[in-house]
């Protein structure tokens, strides 16, 4: 990317890049152990870090580089894996020396990081070997390790990393090893080298000249035979962008296999090394600049080699794209055009890059420069960074995932039943799922996701075997085998077509979903549009009020009978055929009023059974403009009264609320009996057959039973009661009024008693009382409730007979003993 262009992107879109990226949802999801997706796994108690994979040409043997061992797995059979094992571990002395250098003991083992075929009979393997890399030859048949007569192996420095967590790349061409790794203990000397050279070739490595490699992380490498070039993919610091500190860029570098170095300049050094930037971005957006993995997809037969595609996974160092992964595809022809263009030059004095304006002396990266003059080689030595960047195909992203972080991928070209080729990607997420996606004209469609591991895996790898039709996943504790197709999972023609899987098509003769290449007659398949009406052979019936019985598309059932009592809550479950489909319910009145029915997020339906809600209910799925019935229920009222359970712990005269039958939701319910209530005996939980849907009912009574329910369930039921008018509002108002009246009476009595006691304490003398008694026309407000005959009054309290209401006037005051004040009895 040009400097002004990047500046404009950074300034203009850094704060406005929050582009709305629609989530790409897998159509079907299989958790680990699901019967619908069979997986095969090989593991052992003494086997770990099985992350380096190598498949034989015939696809019958999978060689695995693990910790302290190399494995040979016979994968010729689908139901069994036979293992041969070679132990290759460091000595106790080497382990002790590694620990003394400050390394963790767990990292001082021999982690196999290079595993490549040298020829049809031998394999070349290299391991970290307690932070002292070693390499050895392995004979593939019979399987054993070759060493020197002294029992030692070869030095592995520059061929294998020291650190088991350091990424590297290796590839063999004509028995020669091309590697990209670090050549020192500290990991500060990155090198791209050739070893095991034969004939006129000599071992080469990259010159240590400043700027050739800037703290790279090597990812992958690929060989293009027609060009005799090897391409290396890595990410490094982009020093040409000096206005940003530590700006990471993705690179592609090339060397020619015919290179033998210069005669005087660049002796034993690459003369054909050149690199360019891989720009995974769309217009007016920040780039996804950190490459995670990249694979090569060869073009179809009969097409130019320049149509070779490189699919890569990229992440971003910008916080605005944090957590996202992008997939970009780069065409070989575009890469060659960039390397054939202009190059930047580095000013050694200012360490600033600029575009060369003087005459081009040579074309950097061109094969055959080893015989060039010293002047030409010096030009090549200083001009190795291409001025232009490699843009993705169509200058757009193949896919952006806003919620998945992909780490590895594999690619395959599949021919559909109509003869058209489709690209299928297998993407491994860091959360433990393998996504199978197909590239369509209008974007990417994720056919399914399969869970391949549950615990986080620090190092992993995947390898595609087209001949076996499987994807091998190298985990930390074993190797997993995932079939690339799962056609038998789809039981009907609509489901087979809606999957839009180029591997699968509907076999009209055998009435099954099978591999498209195995179907002789015209197959039912529509990968681009998923049009069921046109792809399925028989005329599609209009939406029926019946649901097909599982496994038999010619038989129909009127639906499952659900019999409950009146005014009970009914819950009808609806299975999920696809995560891309929308489900809705239809009942006796076709459309269901939201005032009466609740459609929950899991697709189930809740309502109270009344005479108006009896009838037949249908759960209908709509996907890609095609509708089908997923479940049918016939809801009726029970004909016989519910039998009451008897128990010695339950008082017969005390009615008990009916317990709620179990539902199909995960989790258990616990009944909590409040104080002063007799607990109801726990009824045995009925079992549910596979594929059977249970109806949830609840009997509403005047007793209160408390349940520990899933969140939102009680609220939904209360809402249903309100919708049907089944409330206790009137009873609640009456009880509240009575309670308030009682509280008022008690408070009034208490206040009156307190007031009387205070009055006695402040009672005036007899003379004063006599003067007050003369006021016969006045009333004493404190004498409320007294009567002339209230001689039985004590301490201001009314007589037991309860007589005497209202204010009493002209009453002769008396003491607490019933006589006049200060008058002896």
Summarize pLDDT for 747-787 with one digit per residue, the tens. Answer: 988 888 877 776 665 454 444 434 444 443 333 433 334 43
User: Is residue 503 domain-shared with residue 610, that is, in the same domain?
Assistant: no
Q: Are residues 718 and 609 in the same domain?
A: yes
Average pLDDT over residues 498-512: 94
Domain contains 513: yes
Between residues 693 and 255, the one the model is more confident about: 255
In this structure, the answer to whether residues 593 and 717 fall within a common structural domain is: yes
Indicate whether 93 belongs to any domain: no
46-104 pLDDT per residue, tens = 899 998 999 999 999 999 999 999 999 999 888 778 889 999 999 999 999 999 989 99
Q: Residue 221 pLDDT more than 50? A: yes
Do 526 and 557 sit in the same domain of this protein? no
Phi, psi of 407 (to 5 degrees): -120, -35
Same domain, 788 and 814: yes
Q: Using the 3D structure, point to which of 679, 695, 722 is the last residue of a domain.
A: 722
Residue 125 within a domain: no
> Which residues have a Cβ under 8 Å from the Cβ of 798 and sit 6 or more positions away?
785, 786, 790, 804
Q: How far is Cα 27 from Cα 500, in angstroms, rounded to an integer?
A: 10
Is this structure's pTM higher than 0.85?
no
Q: Which two tokens stand for residue 171?
A: 């590839």
Polymer length of the chain: 825
Weakest mean pLDDT among 159-168, 380-389, 494-503, 660-669: 660-669
Strand ranges for 452-551 from DSSP E: 461-465, 470-474, 479-483, 504-507, 512-515, 547-549
The more confidently predicted of residues 431 and 759 is 431
Under 8 Å CB-to-CB from 238, ≥6 apart: which residues? Answer: 214, 244, 247, 248, 249, 277
Q: What is the pLDDT of residue 799?
A: 40
- The pLDDT assigned to 776 comes to 39
Residue 91 three-state SS: coil
In a domain, 103, yes or no: no
> Residue 394: what pLDDT?
92
Three-state secondary structure call for residue 344: strand
Q: Are 400 and 314 in contact (CB under 8 A)?
A: no
- Angle formed at CA 599 by CA 595 and CA 600, multiple of 5 degrees: 130
Predicted local confidence at residue 727, as pLDDT: 56
The answer to whether residues 460 and 477 touch, using CB atoms and an 8 Å cutoff, is: no
Pair 618, 553 in one domain: yes
Name the pLDDT band for 131 (thresholds 50, 70, 90).
very high
Per DSSP (E only), the strands in 22-118 are 28-30, 40-42, 52-55, 61-66, 69-74, 82-87, 112-117
For residues 665 and 74, the model is more confident at: 74
* CA 348 to each of CA 163, 492, 663: distance values in angstroms, whole numbers, following the listed order: 33, 69, 75
Cβ atoms of 513 and 497 closer than 8 Å: no
Q: Are residues 576 and 622 in the same domain?
A: yes
pLDDT at 767: 40
Q: How confident is the model at residue 457 (pLDDT cuts 50, 70, 90)?
A: confident
Report if residue 234 sits inside a domain. no
Computed on alpha carbons and rounded to an integer, the radius of gyration of the chain in Å comes to 42
Residue 610's pLDDT band (boundaries 50, 70, 90)?
Answer: very high
User: Per residue in 716-725, pLDDT tens?
Assistant: 555 555 555 5
Dump pLDDT digits (tens) for 551-608: 333 334 567 899 999 999 999 999 988 999 999 999 987 778 888 999 998 899 999 9
What is the helix, strand, coil percentage profile of the chain, to 5?
A: 15, 35, 50
Does 440 map to a domain?
A: no
The percent of residues above 70 in pLDDT, for the chain, comes to 74
What pLDDT is recorded for position 658? 33
Asked if residue 718 and residue 616 are part of one domain, the reply reads: yes
Residue 789 lies in a domain: yes
Beta strands 122-127 and 112-117, pairing class: antiparallel
Q: Are 47 and 478 in contact (CB under 8 A)?
A: yes
Please report which residue ranges of 49-188 form alpha helices under DSSP H. 92-100
- What is the pLDDT averaged over residues 39-52? 89
Give the helix/strand (H/E) hosting 327: strand 325-331
Average pLDDT in the 135-152 region? Answer: 84
Domain extent at residue 787? 779-825
Question: So what's the pLDDT on residue 421?
Answer: 95
Are residues 558 and 525 part of one domain? no
Q: Which pLDDT score, from 0 to 100, does residue 345 have? A: 87
Same domain, yes or no, for 599 and 718? Answer: yes
CA distance 524 to 743: 79
Q: Is the pLDDT of residue 712 over 70?
A: no
Lowest mean pLDDT among 41-45, 110-114, 599-603, 771-775: 771-775
Give the percent of the chain with pLDDT over 90. Answer: 50
pLDDT attached to residue 269: 94
232: tokens are 């290396």
Look at residue 163 and tell me whether its pLDDT is greater than 70.
yes
The domain spanning residue 495 has which CATH number?
A: 3.30.1680.10
- Is 717 in the same domain as 627? yes
- Check: CB of residue 564 under 8 Å from CB of residue 637: yes
Q: How far apart are CA 412 and CA 410, in angstroms?
A: 7
Locus of tokens 């291409």: 386
Confidence of residue 807 (pLDDT cuts 50, 70, 90): very low
**Is it the case that residue 623 has pLDDT exceeding 70?**
yes
CA distance 249 to 794: 99
The full DSSP string for 576-620 is -S-TT-EEEEEBTTBSPPTTT-EE-TTS-EEEE--TTT-EEEEEE
The mean-pLDDT minimum among 114-128, 557-571, 647-661, 735-749 falls in 647-661
The highest-confidence range among 243-247, 263-267, 344-348, by mean pLDDT, is 263-267
Mean pLDDT of 310-330: 90
Mean pLDDT of the chain: 78
- Which of 137, 177, 176, 180 is CA-nearest to residue 158? 180
H helix or E strand, kind and range, residue 328: strand 325-331
pLDDT in the model for residue 357? 67
Q: What is the pLDDT of residue 251?
A: 97
171-196 pLDDT, tens digit per residue, is 999 999 999 999 999 888 999 999 99
Can you give the pLDDT at residue 804? 40
Q: How many domains does the chain have?
A: 3
How many other CB atoms are found less than 10 A from the CB of residue 62?
A: 25
* CATH code where residue 565 lies: 2.60.40.10
Q: Which of 153-162, 399-408, 706-715 has the least mean pLDDT?
A: 706-715
In a domain, 736, yes or no: no
For residues 521 and 587, membership in a common domain is answered with: no
Query: Which of 231-245, 578-592, 693-707 is the least confident region?
Result: 693-707
Evaluate whether 311 touches 294 at the Cβ level (below 8 Å).
Answer: yes
Q: What single-letter DSSP state applies at residue 457?
A: -
Burial of 262 (0-12, 13-18, 19+ CB in 10 A): buried
Which pLDDT belongs to residue 7? 35
Lowest pLDDT segment from 423-427, 621-625, 800-804: 800-804
Residue 208 scores a pLDDT above 80: no
């Amino acid at each position: 990317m040009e400097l002004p262009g990047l500046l404009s992107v950074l300034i203009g879109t850094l704060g406005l890049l929050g582009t709305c990226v629609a989530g790409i949802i897998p159509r079907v999801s299989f958790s680990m152990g699901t019967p619908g997706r069979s997986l095969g796994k090989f593991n052992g108690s003494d086997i770990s870090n099985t992350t380096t994979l190598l498949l034989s040409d015939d696809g019958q043997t999978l060689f695995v580089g693990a910790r302290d061992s190399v494995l040979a797995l016979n994968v010729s059979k689908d139901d069994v894996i036979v293992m041969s094992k070679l132990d290759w571990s460091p000595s106790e002395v080497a382990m002790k020396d590694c620990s003394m250098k400050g390394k963790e003991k767990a990292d001082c083992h021999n982690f196999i990081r290079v595993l490549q075929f040298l020829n049809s009979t031998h394999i070349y393997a290299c391991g970290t070997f307690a932070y002292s890399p070693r390499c050895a030859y392995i004979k593939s048949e019979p399987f054993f390790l070759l060493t020197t007569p002294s029992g030692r192996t070869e030095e592995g420095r520059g061929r294998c990393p020291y650190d088991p967590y350091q990424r590297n790349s290796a590839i063999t061409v004509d028995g020669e090893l091309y590697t990209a790794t670090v050549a020192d203990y500290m990991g500060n000397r990155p090198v791209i080298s050739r070893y095991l050279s034969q004939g006129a070739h000599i071992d080469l490595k990259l010159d240590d000249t400043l700027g050739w490699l800037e703290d790279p992380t090597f990812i992958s490498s690929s060989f293009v035979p027609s060009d005799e070039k090897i391409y290396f993919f890595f990410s490094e610091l982009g020093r040409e962008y000096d206005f940003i500190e530590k700006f990471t860029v993705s690179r592609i570098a090339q060397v020619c296999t015919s290179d033998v170095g210069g005669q005087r300049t660049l002796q034993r050094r690459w003369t054909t090394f050149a690199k360019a930037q891989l720009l995974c971005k769309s217009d007016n957006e920040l780039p996804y600049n950190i490459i995670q993995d990249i694979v090569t997809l060869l073009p179809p037969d009969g097409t130019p080699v320049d149509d070779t595609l490189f699919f890569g996974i990229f992440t971003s160092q910008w916080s605005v794209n944090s957590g996202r992964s992008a997939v970009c595809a780069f065409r070989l022809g575009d890469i060659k055009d960039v390397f054939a263009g202009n190059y930047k030059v580095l000013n050694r004095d200012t360490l600033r890059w600029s575009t060369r304006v003087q005459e081009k002396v040579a074309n950097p990266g061109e094969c055959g420069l080893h015989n060039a003059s010293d002047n030409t080689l010096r030009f090549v030595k200083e001009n190795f960074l291409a001025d232009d960047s490699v843009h993705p195909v169509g200058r757009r992203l193949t896919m952006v995932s806003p919620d998945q972080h992909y780490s590895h991928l594999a690619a395959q070209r599949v021919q559909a039943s109509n003869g058209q080729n489709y690209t299928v990607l297998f993407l491994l997420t860091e959360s433990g799922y393998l996504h199978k996606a197909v590239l369509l004209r209008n974007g990417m469609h994720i056919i399914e996701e399969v869970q391949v591991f549950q615990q986080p895996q620090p190092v992993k790898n995947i390898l595609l075997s087209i001949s076996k039709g499987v994807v091998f996943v190298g985990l930390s504790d074993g190797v997993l085998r995932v079939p690339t197709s799962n056609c038998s999972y789809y039981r009907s023609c609509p489901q087979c077509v809606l999957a839009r899987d180029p591997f699968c098509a509907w076999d009209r003769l055998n009435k099954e979903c099978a591999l498209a290449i195995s179907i002789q007659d015209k197959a039912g398949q529509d990968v681009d549009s998923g049009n069921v009406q046109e792809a399925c052979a028989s005329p599609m019936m209009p939406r029926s009020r019946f649901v097909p019985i599982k496994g038999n598309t010619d038989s129909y059932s009127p639906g499952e009978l659900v019999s409950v009592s009146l005014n009970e809550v009914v819950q009808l479950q609806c299975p999920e055929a696809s995560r891309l489909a929308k489900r809705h319910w239809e009942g006796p009145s076709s459309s269901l009023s939201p005032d009466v029915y609740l459609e929950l997020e899991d697709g189930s339906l809740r309502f109270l059974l009344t005479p108006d809600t009896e009838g037949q209910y249908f759960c209908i799925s709509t996907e890609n403009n095609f509708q089908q019935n997923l479940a049918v229920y016939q809801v009726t009222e029970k004909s016989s009264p519910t039998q009451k359970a008897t128990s010695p712990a339950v008082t017969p005269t005390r009615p008990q609320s009916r317990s709620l039958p179990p539902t199909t939701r995960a989790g258990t319910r616990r009944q909590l009996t409040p104080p002063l209530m007799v607990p109801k005996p726990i009824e045995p939980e009925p079992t549910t057959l596979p594929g059977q849907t249970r109806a949830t009912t609840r009997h509403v009574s005047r007793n209160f039973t408390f349940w520990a329910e899933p969140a939102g369930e009680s609220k939904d039921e209360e809402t249903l009661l309100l919708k049907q008018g089944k409330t206790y509002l009137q009873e609640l108002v009456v009880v509240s009024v009575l309670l308030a009246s009682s509280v008022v009476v008690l408070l009034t009595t208490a206040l009156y008693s307190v007031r009387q006691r205070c009055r006695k304490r402040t009672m005036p003398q007899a003379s004063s009382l006599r003067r007050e008694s003369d006021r016969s026309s006045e009333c004493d407000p404190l004498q409320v409730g007294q009567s002339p005959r209230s001689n039985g009054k004590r301490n201001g309290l009314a007589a037991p007979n309860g007589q005497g209401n209202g204010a009493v006037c002209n009453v002769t005051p008396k003491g607490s003993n019933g006589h006049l004040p200060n008058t002896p009895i």
